[in-house]
Amino acid sequence: MSSMKVLRIAAGVEAASLLALMANVLTIHAASVSSLGGPVHGAAYLISIAVTFSLTATDASTGARALSFVPGIGGMLALRRLRPCHSGPRHLHRSARGRSDPVAGLSP
């Protein structure tokens, strides 16, 4: 399994477990949910940090490393920073009249 896939899974588990823990605290505050969700969230958080550091070991991208420390969504932020650029559709540019113009700013 590739490191990016591990980071994707860990980031999803990190965010989902935080949401589950917050929902539990705001509603019934069941001890069993807290005792299971806390360690799952903590493990996903640490895995996100470790995998981000391993992916950026040869790269000078300290931004992804710093973002990985944000609790709850750090894995998602790091994943977004590490995502390779793709040649998808170009962004729309605003024309002089304020309307979106899909061809403005494109070089011939």
Q: What are phi and psi of 32, to 5 degrees?
A: -65, -35
Task: In whole angstroms, give the CA distance from residue 64 to residue 11.
Answer: 13
pLDDT digits (tens, 9 = 90+) for 14-41: 999 999 999 999 999 999 999 999 999 9
Tens of pLDDT, residue by residue over 75-89, are 999 999 988 755 445
Q: Give tens-digit pLDDT for 58-76.
A: 765 778 999 999 999 999 9
38 in Cβ contact with 83 (< 8 Å): no
